[in-house]
Structure 1
Amino acid sequence: MRYLFGPGRREEHTDAHLIAAWDGAGSLAELEPPTDAAGRRDVRRLTELLEQPVAVGWKPPARPVWHCSIRTHPTDRILTDAQWAHIAGEVMAAVGLAPYGDTRAVRWLAVRHAPDHVHVVATTVRQDRRTAWISYDKRKAQAACRDLEERYGLYRVAPAGAGSRRWPSSAELNKAARLDAKTGSARPGERAGPTVAPREVLRRRVREVAAIATDEVDFFARLQQAGVLVRLRCSARDPGRVIGYAVGLDAHVTAVGTTVWYGGGRLAPDLTLPRLRSRWAGTPPRGGNAARLAATGMIPPQVSRRAAETVRDAAAAMRAAPISGLASAIAYAAADLLTATARAWEGEAGGPLTDAADWFDRAAHDLCGRVPSRRVWQAGHLRSMARLIAVLGAVSRDQDTTAALHLIYTLAALAESLADLRQAQDRLDQARDARRAAEQLRTYRPRFEPAAPATVDLPMVRPLVADLLSAERRARQR
């Protein structure tokens, strides 16, 4: 309570005040902690009121405090105190601590000390002296928030467990921030800006390698070349058979100096070794020629133009797919192509293409599992082109920059098609990410100078892009 009504750890708390309380608490103005001569809030009376049921409860729990913070997205509007009070009440009812109409429920408060979030604090002993045993409260609170986002027209977040990655915990982010502050510089390969946890660094590097690897041996070799530590996990029954892997970074160690390892499944569901094997085994014969060229390093002319044609054919197949699983398989492969292109053009430092690839990857994730790419030959072609782009980026920049930009804008049109698919499936968070990726790709301008002496004539490129996007829209309407 002292923290909630105090200045905050970084003086970020402004105008801390109560916005809601338990049923029967009385006037919020009377509950409001008074301010002493030094400007500090006296929370002792308010704390005693919350603790009264705990003091007289039947075998109260050793840790009787329940605390939850609820925050809106930075793009959301500022909500009123009344709206926040309703949101806090909905969450308390959803987790089962204070159901509507239960006058003997636990005592709780909602404190607002910033425009974009509130804190809810409760003691878990009811006013009838019984302990309120709660279960799955995090899952229930998140489900309530997903419903409130829709009702209030706020930024929609994906349902729990439906994302395309495992997000870093608060402890990981705090540790990364401490290491950045200690060293005074960002970790190699990461752009300056917000703190990036090692889990995110590894996820991006593993995904970039998986997008262009041709098989298991190539995958692990490329990981080591990318500066990633690799540890293989073998079967207990058959020690010669590899059944999993873990990755780590040299600079990310525990307090005793041992490497912190992350299994592929702890980075993203589709980065487990069985999922990766199904991806590599799914390259169809029709895509074998491009795969062999990528493996040998033989670069055919006009790679970007050929890749753009492959993307255009894949986009048409995705729109015409009879089931969503086939469309998702094509989208997954297109995400690999965009990831490889971003890596070839922007390198480890990242940039607009890398951000677009990240958003596209979120939109391509299928909640019901992925159809193996061997059943969708367009997916195999896209991944073969991703390997060619990766080799091309290692050798030199694409000399035909106009064709390279044509590939980017074709991927933007495919992202729009994916957004329409997710919109039709009522997966609005993924539709938003796909449109965000499409907008980023559509407005992209390359940073590097082309290898050819000629420069890009953007006025000549724009009509080409406009014609391409118009054709894509006409095809969707048909």
Structure 2
Amino acid sequence: MAAWDGAGPLKDLEPKVTVSGKRDLRALAALLEQPVRAGYRPPNRFVWHASMRLAPEDRHRTISDSTWANMAVQMLTEVGIATTATDPGLRWIAMRHADDHVHIVATLVREDGRTNWMRNDYPRCVKATYHVARRYHLHRRVPPADRTAHRRPHPAEVSKARRTGRAQMPRDELRRCVRRAVAAAGSEEEFFVQLGEAGVLVRLRNSSTDPGQVTGYAVALPGPRTASGQPVYFGGGRLAPDLTLPKLRQRWGTPTPPPAAPTVSRAERVETLRQAATVVAAAADDIHRDARTAPGRAQATAVAAADLLTSLAYGIEGDRRGALHRAAEAFDRAARDLYGRVRQPSGRSQEMRAMSRLVALMGRISGDEDTVAALALMMDLSRFADTIEQLRRAQQRLHQAEAARTAAEALRLVAGGRRPVVAPPLTVTATPVPTVGGGRRAARGR
């Protein structure tokens, strides 16, 4: 339905049907591979493949071949594959296999013999398809990647978790432990103590030039082991882009001594939660004021609020991951800066981080009075999440805006009593089977 500029009529490219009823693709493949055979040191893997597929809510629409062709050309032009006749680039074709998707194939050697390696093509494709979806008024519009998501488990980790019957990936469990320790600490010494108390194995990395200087860390769970029986360690940067030790040091700012453990009396616990709610409400006003004039301060305040919500989630739900833990994870994604950057702490962020440490140190929340104070703090945090959503939408960081809205809705549901604070006890279940089993393709409706 579409091809490179200069390919000629599309009907001449259509593979012929043989006597056996199959398509003869040799002539089309030879045309696509002509620049490869004539190129200078062509790559061994010279085929680029992508697909454009409608979302389930858009599949009821009837899109003509010409519309599909226009969408494919616009996407490929933005990515850098489709070019005009005055700039002979790559040869490519777009073929429609069904009503809801098309497949695109290109060869990576240009007409002039140079190789186009298509580096970083995935982020450009996501951005291009988002623009196409906006132009053609499609319902599902996946925003461009903003590099704020945490690292996903490797397929090997998923397979190992499935074999051992683990309910969670070790990488995900470690990221939560590290996030909890970060929220409750004010310096790296306190951070490592928190990890040790949580039962996490810690391995420090010393500088090659100054052996007495610690430059990084890695964490592991006591259970999972490698084939040789060694713990499986993950560096902080492999858990999330902002969890490396240099970035944590910048996040904490000037080390402060840990606050004294608060009295476990209910009155002091309620007072701590009320003070935290006051700080959160003032921080939301600061973000409204500083979003344009001092974006660094607003960003530091948002990250400190994520730490406070993390401490509150553990103070209410403990190690049992419920709705509040999931809200804290979504809020952490919404508050994170681009490319793992960390802003210098401000007075407000330091104040909120002090509240986070106090909430973490005062223990589990129980009883009616402190529960009511905790629910009021949740409502203030939900309004703070609304402020973050407005900020991220103004910054065109739509993935983070979606995460902030998810966190705000979850907090309001918990605070309103429409969702249980603590989830039922976790049972060890097998990891879901992947959509493609054993690397084999499923038959098409046969």
**Alignment TM-score, normalising by the size of structure 1:** 0.72
- Counterpart of 1:136 in structure 2 is 119
Aligned partners of 1:294 and 1:387 also within 8 Å: no
Q: Which residue of 1 aligns with 2:444?
A: none
Aligned residue among 403, 407, 414 for 1:433: 403
Matched, 1:281 2:261: no
- Name 1:415's counterpart in structure 2: 385
Once the 2 structures are TM-superposed, how far is the Cα of residue 173 of structure 1 from its aligned partner?
3.8
Deviations along 1:304-344, one digit per CA (max 9) or x if unpaired, are 33322221222222223342222222111111111222233
* 1:443, distance to aligned residue in structure 2 (A): 2.0
* Equivalent residue number for residue 442 of structure 2: none
1:112-131 superposed matches below 5 A: 118-126=102-110, 128=111, 130-131=113-114
User: Using a 3 Å threshold, how does the CA distance of structure 1 residues 107 and 140 change in structure 2: closer, same or farther?
Assistant: same
Alpha-carbon distance, 1:119 to partner: 3.7
Asked if the contact 1:34/1:42 (under 8 Å) is kept, the reply is: yes
Cα distance in 1 between the residues matched to 2:103 and 2:279: 51
Percent of aligned positions with the same letter in both sequences? 42
Q: Give the 3 Å change call, closer, same or farther, for CA 278–256 of structure 1 in structure 2.
A: same
Is the 2:318–2:364 Cα contact (8 Å) retained in structure 1? no
Distance 1:238 1:103, change over 3 A: closer
Q: Which moved more, 1:228-237 or 1:299-308?
A: 299-308
Question: What does residue 312 of structure 2 align with?
Answer: 341
Helix, strand or coil at the partner of 2:209: coil
Return 350-359 or 440-449, whichever deviates more: 440-449
| 1:56-89 CA-partner distances (Å, limit 9, x unpaired) | 5554332221223455666767673555433432
Q: CA deviation at 1:254?
A: 5.2
Task: Give the alignment partner of residue 155 of structure 2, picking from 148, 164, 174.
Answer: 174
- Supply the distance in 2 between the matched residues of 1:29 and 1:165 (Cα, whole angstroms): 46
Instruction: Please state if 1:148 is matched with 2:120.
Output: no
CA distance in 2 between counterparts of 1:42 and 1:420 reads: 55
Deviation (angstroms), 1:234: 0.9
Give the letter aligned to residue 292 of structure 1.
P
1:31 aligned partner, one-letter code:
E
Change (3 A) 1:63 1:367: closer
- Mark the CA change 1:59 to 1:233 in structure 2 (over 3 Å): closer, same or farther: closer
Whole-angstrom distance in 1 between the partners of 2:367 and 2:412:
20
The answer as to whether partners of 1:233 and 1:245 remain within 8 angstroms in 2 is yes
Tell me which residue corresponds to 2:186: 214
Going from structure 1 to structure 2, the CA distance change for 1:355 and 1:76 (only over 3 Å counts) comes to farther
Deviations 1:403-448 (A, max 9, x none): 2221111111111122222233333333332222212222223525
Give the TM-score, by structure 2 length: 0.77
Q: Aligned in 2, Cα 1:140/1:389: closer, same or farther, shift over 3 Å?
A: same
Match of 2:336 in 1: 365
Q: 1:239 deviation in Å?
A: 1.6
Quick one: distance in 2 between partners of 1:163 and 1:142? 13
Instruction: Tell me the SS of whatever aligns to 2:74.
Output: helix
Per the TM alignment, residue 200 of structure 1 is displaced from its structure 2 partner at its CA by 3.3
CA distance in 2, matches of 1:253, 1:90: 48
Pairing of 1:26-425 with structure 2 (within 5 A) = 26-27=9-10, 31=14, 46-57=28-39, 59-70=41-52, 80=63, 82-101=66-85, 104-111=88-95, 118-126=102-110, 128=111, 130-138=113-121, 139-152=123-136, 159-160=144-145, 162-168=146-152, 172-183=153-164, 185-187=165-167, 190=168, 197-250=169-222, 258-282=230-254, 292-294=259-261, 300-302=268-270, 303-321=272-290, 322-367=293-338, 369-373=341-345, 375-376=346-347, 378-394=348-364, 396=366, 399-425=369-395
Query: In structure 2, what is the Cα distance between the partners aligned to 1:391 and 1:148?
Result: 50
* Paired residue total: 409
Q: Distance in 2 between matches of 1:33 and 1:252?
A: 55
Alignment-derived partner of residue 194 in structure 1: none
* Residues 165-202 of structure 1, C-alpha deviations (whole Å, 9 max, x = no match): 4432xxx442233224323x334xx3xxxxxx543333
1:216-249 deviation per Cα after TM superposition (whole angstroms, max 9, x unaligned): 1221122233343321111223222211112234
Q: Judging changes above 3 Å, is the alpha-carbon distance between structure 1 residues 85 and 292 closer, same or farther for their aligned structure 2 residues?
A: same
How far apart, CA to CA, are the structure 1 residues paired with 2:199 and 2:99?
43
1:109–1:443 CA distance, 2 compared to 1 (3 A) = same
Whole-angstrom CA distance in 1 between matches of 2:219 and 2:30:
49
For 2:411, the aligned partner's letter is L
Larger relative CO (CA 8 A, sep 6+): 1 or 2? 2
The question of whether the paired residues in 2 share the 8 Å contact of 1:36 and 1:42 is answered with no
CA RMSD of aligned residues (A): 3.7
Q: CA deviation at 1:356?
A: 2.0
Distance in 2 between residues matched to 1:164 and 1:397, nearest whole Å: 37
Q: Which residue matches 2:3?
A: 21
Secondary structure at 2:203 match in 1: strand
Cα distance in structure 1, aligned partners of 2:53 and 2:72: 11
- Note if contact 2:263-2:269 (Cα within 8 Å) is conserved in structure 1: no
Deviations 1:141-170 (A, max 9, x none): 34434543544456565654x3334432xx
Moved more, 220-229 or 403-412: 220-229
Structure 2 match to 1:465: none
Structure 1 unpaired stretches of 5+: 1-18, 191-196, 450-478
- Equivalents in 2 of 1:354, 1:35: separation in Å? 60
The alignment partner of 1:419 has SS state of helix
CA distance in structure 2 between the partners assigned to 1:381 and 1:250 by the alignment: 35
CA distance in 2: counterparts of 1:349 and 1:116, whole angstroms: 41
Letter in 2 for 1:206: V
Secondary structure, counterpart of 1:245 in structure 2: strand
Task: Judge which range, 64-73 or 326-335, deviates more.
Answer: 64-73
> Which whole-Å CA distance do the structure 2 matches of 1:349 and 1:114 have between them?
45
1:345–1:105: structure 2 CA closer, same or farther, 3 Å change rule?
same
355-364 or 41-50: bigger deviation: 41-50
